[in-house]
Amino acid sequence: MLYYRIFGAMNLEDLSTLESLLSKPQSIVIVPHKNPDGDAIGSCLGLHLFLQQRGLQSKVVAPNDFPKFLKWMPAAEGIIVYEKETQEAEKLLSNASLIFTLDFNDFSRVGPNMEKALARSKASFVMIDHHQQPSDYATATFSNVEKSSTCEMVYDLIEAMNGTAQLTPEIATNLYAGIMTDTGSFKYRSTTSATHTAAAKLIERGADNMDIHQHVFDSNSPSRLHLLGVALRNMVISPEYRTAYITLSQEELDTHNFKKGDTEGFVNYGLTLEGIIFAVIFIENKDEGIIKISFRSIGDFSVNQFARNHFNGGGHDNAAGGRSDVSLPETVAQFQKLLPQYAKQLNP
């Protein structure tokens, strides 16, 4: 099995593997992770439209639906949602000869049902991703944890494939949107001069930065803002551990007409408090019988490790997710009990 990791510049071997896969007739499917975010959707659609420019047909199959604030993205209407259109999605996956997996590092990240379909597949896999600890299922693994976003990696790939002339405004818009959302509008540590250079080139190729920002961030509903008010009131601050956490119960979500994506970004408010370096949000999901947890940190405290060690999750050093199968109060109690173990790391 060929296994390539890319740190820094793209190397020629990686490219030739990809070019050789793309030089043969293929049935191509592109897959983002479950609960896809702007980077997952943007990278899949950007790659899909780029392949189209090269005369290759592909389909994007997402494990489940994605929030309204991403529905405007060019070509988003063509995404097949596995959870809703299971038969069609299963057919596409079983007929695929080449599957790109974007913005995730392990089959389990697509959820249990679609995971089985991927595991059964006889296709060649290409991974493009920036999360830690990539699994080795792919024929070509483009993994770079230093990169701001999978969209930046897709941009790098297009450039390395001499494809910049084929970067349409639609491709540029998708990739810009993913870079913008995954960097918190260019403010996270993962944002480098290369990120800004890619963003600048994407603007030159037709991405309208103001328009994209408005679509994503200025599309609030009144009920979402009221829910944010509840979340902020529920915030518990532990200065001794430099930690702030938020809870949202199913009842609170229901009262505020919760729609997918409404809680996106809430967790980050904890980090805006002076001195706070660890922020968490616990969101009850009665349908799935779980508590979905998001972790964020500033500096060296690895929430990837914390989520892996205690909450069946993972992600990046400064942004990770996880879940718990016990009740909301029990999950919070578990979390509070863990903090003293981390006192030295949180408050050195």
Cβ-based nearer residue to ligand 5GP, 56 or 338:
338
Cβ-based nearer residue to ligand 5GP, 36 or 46:
36
186 Cβ contact partners less than 8 Å away, ≥ 6 residues apart: 179, 180, 195, 196, 199
For residue 47, give the H/E element and its range.
helix 38-53
Cβ-based nearer residue to ligand 5GP, 74 or 134:
134
Q: How far is the CB of 165 from Mn ion (least distance, A)?
A: 26
- Site pattern 273..312 for ligand 5GP (x: CB under 6 A): ---------------------x------------------
For residue 39, give the H/E element and its range.
helix 38-53
Hunting for tokens 């290759």 — which residue is that? 56
Q: How far is the CB of 327 from ligand 5GP (least distance, A)?
A: 19
- Evaluate whether 1 touches 141 at the Cβ level (below 8 Å): no
Out of 32, 36, 74, 313, the only residue in the binding site for ligand 5GP (CB under 6 A) is: 313
Does residue 32 bind ligand 5GP (CB under 6 A)? no
Hunting for tokens 């991403």 — which residue is that? 70
Strands 319-324, 314-315: parallel, antiparallel or unpaired by DSSP? antiparallel
- Evaluate whether 61 touches 82 at the Cβ level (below 8 Å): yes
Out of 180, 202, 276, 319, the only residue in the binding site for ligand 5GP (CB under 6 A) is: 319
Question: Residue 83 to residues 42, 72, 86, 289, 323: CA-CA distances in angstroms?
Answer: 20, 20, 6, 17, 20
Out of 125, 171, 315, 346, the only residue in the binding site for ligand 5GP (CB under 6 A) is: 315
Cβ-based nearer residue to ligand 5GP, 97 or 192:
192
Footprint on residues 68-107 left by Mn ion (CB under 5 A): 103
> Which residues partner with 314 through β-bridges?
321
Out of 152, 182, 262, 284, the only residue in the binding site for Mn ion (CB under 5 A) is: 182
314 binds, among ligand 5GP, Mn ion, none (CB under 5 to 8 A by kind): ligand 5GP
- What is the rounded end-to-end Cα distance, in angstroms, of the chain? 44
Out of 318, 321, 324, 335, the only residue in the binding site for ligand 5GP (CB under 6 A) is: 321
Cβ-based nearer residue to Mn ion, 117 or 179:
179
What is the distance between the alpha carbons of residues 103 and 192, in angstroms, rounded to a whole number? 19
Q: Which spans of this chain sit near ligand 5GP (rule: CB under 6 A)?
A: 33, 294, 313-316, 319-323
